[in-house]
């Protein structure tokens, strides 16, 4: 049986969900023996590969690059999992939405500094423009499963990984679908 091809991606978040993933502790050693991590901030792959079995997507969609990347991830992955409250609901990253759009958020930062000539940086192809509205992942692509939590505890992450490895249907219930 081929090893599961697993990926993790972080978008507009704090990386706490990935830190909770690392809280798998010595199970990471077991995981290394059972799956192939083909793309992740923890490894040096620069391009999201084809033929990914499952991906954990942390973070909300906050800029154009997140949009592009998550669409690419969706097209190259069988099971896409929204990982953590920012991906599931927008959460903290979406708190800027109450300001209406990106511009007032960006310009508010400069108005406090009297001698600053406000200029929003733009380097084509490098700095992604902010979206006016931060959204959860499922606003952009269909999502196959949700792991809530801020961050999801490691035990919850492990339960889902074990289901993926065993090719079981993904399922969380009760306390395991709490936010926060």
Q: Which residues bind another protein (CB under 8 A)?
A: 10, 12-20, 22-23, 25-26, 28-29, 32, 37, 40-46, 62-63, 65, 91-93, 95-96, 98-99, 105-106, 108-109, 112-113, 115-117, 119-121, 123, 125-128, 130, 150-151, 153-154
Q: Rounded to an integer, what distance in angstroms lies between the CA atom of residue 133 and that of residue 63?
A: 9
Report, in Å, the least distance between residue 143 CB and another protein.
21
Report, in Å, the least distance between residue 169 CB and another protein.
27
Helices (H), 79-169: 85-89, 102-111, 154-165
Q: Would you report the helix, strand and coil content of the chain in percent, each value rounded to 5?
A: 40, 20, 40
Pair 80, 49: CB distance under 8 Å? no
Residue 132 or 168 having the CB closest to another protein: 132
169 Cα distance to chain centroid: 21
50 preceded by cis ω (within 30°)?
no
Q: Rounded to an integer, what distance in angstroms lies between the CA atom of residue 76 and that of residue 1?
A: 20
Q: Rounded to an integer, what distance in angstroms lies between the CA atom of residue 85 and that of residue 4?
A: 25
Residue 46 or 175 having the CB closest to another protein: 46
Residue 127 or 171 having the CB closest to another protein: 127
Report, in Å, the least distance between residue 138 CB and another protein.
20
Q: Rounded to an integer, what distance in angstroms lies between the CA atom of residue 162 and that of residue 168?
A: 8
Residue 151 or 172 having the CB closest to another protein: 151
Residue 78 or 100 having the CB closest to another protein: 100
Report, in Å, the least distance between residue 174 CB and another protein.
18
């Amino acid at each position: 049986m081929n090893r599961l091809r697993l990926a993790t991606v972080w978008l507009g978040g704090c990386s706490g969900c990935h830190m909770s993933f690392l809280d798998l502790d010595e199970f990471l050693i077991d995981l290394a023996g059972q799956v192939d991590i083909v793309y992740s901030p923890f490894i040096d792959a620069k391009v999201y590969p084809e033929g990914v079995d499952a991906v954990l997507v942390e973070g909300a969609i906050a800029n154009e690059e997140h949009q592009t990347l998550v669409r690419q991830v969706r097209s190259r992955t069988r099971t896409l999992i929204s990982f953590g409250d920012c991906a599931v609901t927008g959460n903290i990253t979406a708190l800027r939405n109450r300001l209406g759009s990106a511009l007032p958020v960006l310009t508010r930062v400069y108005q406090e500094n009297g001698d600053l000539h406000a200029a929003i940086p733009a380097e084509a192809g490098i700095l992604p423009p902010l979206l006016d509205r931060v959204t959860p992942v499922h606003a952009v692509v269909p999502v196959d499963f949700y792991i809530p939590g801020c961050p999801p505890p490691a035990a919850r992450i492990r339960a889902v990984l074990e289901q993926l490895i065993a090719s079981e249907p993904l399922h969380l219930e009760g306390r395991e679908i709490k936010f926060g």
